[in-house]
């Protein structure tokens, strides 16, 4: 009898000793009518894996990103362009359920891809039996591949953690930062100084010092990221908490000059990881798409969605003329399900209203930070006008003030918060409205291209992506090792 482990090991080893696979086999250019390739046929066909996730992206968010790209910048989103191209790609829906709910949070979602199991919401690669599970970057690392995480949130936040840490709670971000160090993750770029800085960590540990001693280059601003071309390991932490919303970053010169965009970080990451002879796995997260959806924040949402799409463009440039990289583009769950509502008798006012978003200078997060605790109607109107150029009415200003006092009444109680009321007021002008302020149960959009993508069916269980990445990269033997 041969054990499953031995069998898988043998499979992985034989893939290594195979002659070069024929281009047809690895290119993914099989026609839809040909026999579907299995993952076993494709073992080891992908040298690299790039996983792009727009956190909390409803289908309306994908649509609005493309609409604004077309209307403001006269271009089509890379994601939508893929569907309209000659390229061979996979497209389908994915069921992102967690173990304890069909509505997932970001940590259970990233863990489903990161360890191949559904876990309870709130944990990071932590089994329903209360045991740590092995994250995918550790598997790739043990197979000799480089590992990287890039995000616009704190680098210790749920989605990157789901690929590189194991913890009973996603809130253990100090511990998650230390786990990245112990795991030797090759490249980390995002926010979250508070979890590396000895003056801010609960245990006072100087993680920057530890990373530095281990040979990492520490990057703290955009200029140093752009200038540094060393092939060394990299820890790039650019803000105390999350990176700014794109709409704020575009307005505030200091943020524009000092903080890199997601596309810039992605380019820098690929330049570095590409130097690794045995390939790499890289996760890229547009994390604040989710935050904007929670906050019913139209400009935060649409311009961060576009920033995510810019990072897709960087990845498409990287894979141009190469057949050795599996690229997955998806989201972990829908959130608040925004969309442009028809407005005007024949809906013809809606596009004009949507275009008002182009005048926005700041996110709703910025507006809420500017508002005093007990603002007057005049203050509310002025701050909103400064941020959005919208001139709201006295009645609308009063509704926001009432919501800040907990005195605003709506039939759906979840929509009584100041962020929901502000988003709904803005909907009168930009015609973008919201279902709520939390994650929803929708199946999500999944696109993939490169070796292995042809093994996906049109309806995918979240955990299947783990298996595809591990098999197609030929690292299955290391997934079984403890």
Q: What is the contact surface with Zn ion in residues (CB under 5 A)?
A: 56, 290
Least separation in angstroms between residue 55's CB and Zn ion is: 7
User: Could you tell me how many residues make up the chain?
Assistant: 482
- Strand bridging mode 48-54 / 280-286: parallel
For Zn ion, the closer CB: 106 or 250: 106
Could you give the CA distance from residue 8 to residue 475 in angstroms, rounded to a whole number?
10
For Zn ion, the closer CB: 290 or 304: 290
**How do the residues of the chain divide into helix, strand and coil, expressed in percent and rounded to 5?**
45, 15, 40
Q: Which pair of structure tokens corresponds to residue 222?
A: 């955009």
Q: Which of 367, 419, 418 is nearest to 390 (CA)?
A: 367
Long-range contacts of 193-199 (CB under 8 A, 24+ apart): 193/237, 193/239, 193/240, 193/241, 194/154, 194/240, 194/241, 195/154, 195/155, 195/156, 196/235, 196/237
Q: Taking CB positions, which residue lies at the least distance from Zn ion?
A: 290
Q: Which of 155, 283, 313 is nearest to 219 (CA)?
A: 155
Least separation in angstroms between residue 453's CB and Zn ion is: 27
Least separation in angstroms between residue 197's CB and Zn ion is: 25
Least separation in angstroms between residue 420's CB and Zn ion is: 15
- Tell me the helices (H) and strands (E) count for the chain, helix number first: 22, 12
For Zn ion, the closer CB: 56 or 160: 56
For Zn ion, the closer CB: 56 or 450: 56
For Zn ion, the closer CB: 56 or 60: 56
For Zn ion, the closer CB: 290 or 445: 290
Q: How far is CA 60 from CA 65, 204, 229, 304, 335, in A?
A: 8, 43, 39, 14, 10
For Zn ion, the closer CB: 107 or 299: 107
Q: Which pair of structure tokens corresponds to residue 396?
A: 């609308």
HSE of 436, CA atoms in CB hemisphere, 13 A: 11
Do residues 456 and 92 lie in contact, with contact meaning Cβ atoms separated by under 8 Å?
Answer: yes
């Amino acid at each position: 009898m041969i054990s499953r482990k031995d069998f898988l090991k043998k499979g992985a080893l034989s893939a290594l000793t195979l002659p070069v696979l024929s281009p047809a086999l690895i290119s993914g250019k099989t026609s839809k009518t040909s026999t579907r390739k299995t993952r076993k046929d494709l073992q080891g066909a992908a040298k690299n894996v790039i996983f792009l996730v727009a956190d909390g992206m409803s289908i309306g968010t994908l649509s609005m990103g493309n609409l604004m790209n077309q209307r403001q910048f006269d271009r089509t989103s890379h994601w939508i362009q893929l569907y309209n191209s000659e390229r061979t790609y996979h497209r389908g829906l994915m069921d992102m359920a967690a173990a304890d709910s069909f509505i997932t949070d970001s940590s259970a979602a990233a863990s489903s891809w990161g360890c191949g199991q559904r876990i309870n919401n709130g944990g990071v690669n932590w089994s329903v039996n209360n045991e740590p599970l092995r994250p995918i970057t550790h598997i790739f690392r043990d197979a000799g591949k480089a590992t990287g995480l890039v995000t616009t949130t704190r680098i210790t936040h749920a989605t990157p953690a789901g690929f590189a840490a194991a913890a009973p709670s996603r809130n253990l971000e100090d511990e998650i930062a230390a786990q990245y160090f112990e795991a030797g993750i090759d490249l980390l770029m995002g926010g979250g100084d508070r979890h590396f800085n000895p003056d801010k960590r609960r245990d006072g540990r100087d993680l920057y010092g530890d990373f530095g001693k281990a040979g990492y280059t520490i990057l703290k601003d955009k200029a140093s990221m752009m200038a540094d071309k060393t092939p060394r390991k990299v820890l790039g932490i650019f803000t105390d908490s999350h990176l700014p919303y794109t709409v704020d970053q575009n307005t505030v010169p200091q943020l524009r000059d000092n903080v890199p965009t997601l596309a810039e970080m992605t380019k820098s990451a690929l330049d570095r990881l590409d130097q690794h002879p045995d390939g790499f796995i890289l996760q890229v997260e547009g994390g604040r798409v989710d935050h904007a959806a929670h906050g019913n924040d139209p400009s935060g949402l649409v311009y961060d969605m576009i920033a995510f799409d810019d990072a897709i463009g960087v990845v498409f440039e990287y894979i141009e003329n190469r057949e050795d990289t599996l690229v997955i583009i998806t989201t972990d769950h829908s959130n608040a399900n925004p969309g442009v509502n028809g407005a005007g008798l024949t809906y013809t006012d809606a596009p004009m209203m949507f275009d008002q978003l182009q005048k926005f200078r700041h996110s709703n997060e910025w507006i809420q930070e500017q508002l005093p605790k007990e603002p007057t109607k005049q203050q509310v109107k002025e701050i909103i006008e400064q941020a959005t150029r919208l001139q709201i009415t006295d009645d609308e200003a009063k509704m926001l003030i009432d919501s800040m006092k907990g005195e605003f009444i709506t039939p759906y109680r979840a929509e009584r918060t100041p962020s929901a009321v502000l988003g709904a007021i803005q909907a009168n002008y930009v015609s973008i409205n919201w279902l709520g302020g939390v994650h929803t149960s929708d199946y999500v959009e999944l696109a993939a291209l490169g070796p292995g993508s042809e093994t996906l069916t049109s309806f995918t269980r979240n955990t299947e992506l783990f298996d595809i990445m591990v098999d197609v990269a030929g690292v299955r033997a290391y997934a079984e090792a403890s």
